[in-house]
Amino acid sequence: MLTRLDEDTDIAALLAELGGHDREGADWIRDNGELYLAGDWLTRCGLPDQSLNIELLPGKITIRAERGIMLA
């Protein structure tokens, strides 16, 4: 799940809190408004190797791996 942070969020404290969790991370929205996901946390989650279901809601993006789907 991706969650939008408000401008008052303490980024340094957030990154320190996430530091020990393999399946959590932080990425940024570029100046042009594109969301760019990258980094070790994404690879450790195993998402690049799976089919994904992506849901968009105001202020929230949820990415789920679709289990049980055989890739040919």
Reported as a single tens digit per residue, the pLDDT across 17-66 is 776 666 666 666 777 877 777 777 777 777 777 788 888 888 778 878 77
| Spatial CA neighbour of 42 closest among 32, 52, 33, 57 | 52
What pLDDT score does 31 carry? 76
**Strand (E) or helix (H) holding 58:** none
What pLDDT score does 72 carry? 46
Domain-located, residue 57: yes
CB-based burial, 11-40: b 16+ in 10 Å, e otherwise: eeeeeeeeeeeeeebeeeeeeeeeeeeeee
What's the total number of domains in the chain?
Answer: 1
Domain-located, residue 72: no
Positive or negative, the CA dihedral 46, 32, 10, 4 is: negative
Please tell me the pTM assigned to this model.
Answer: 0.45
What pLDDT score does 2 carry? 63
Which domain range does residue 30 map to? 2-65
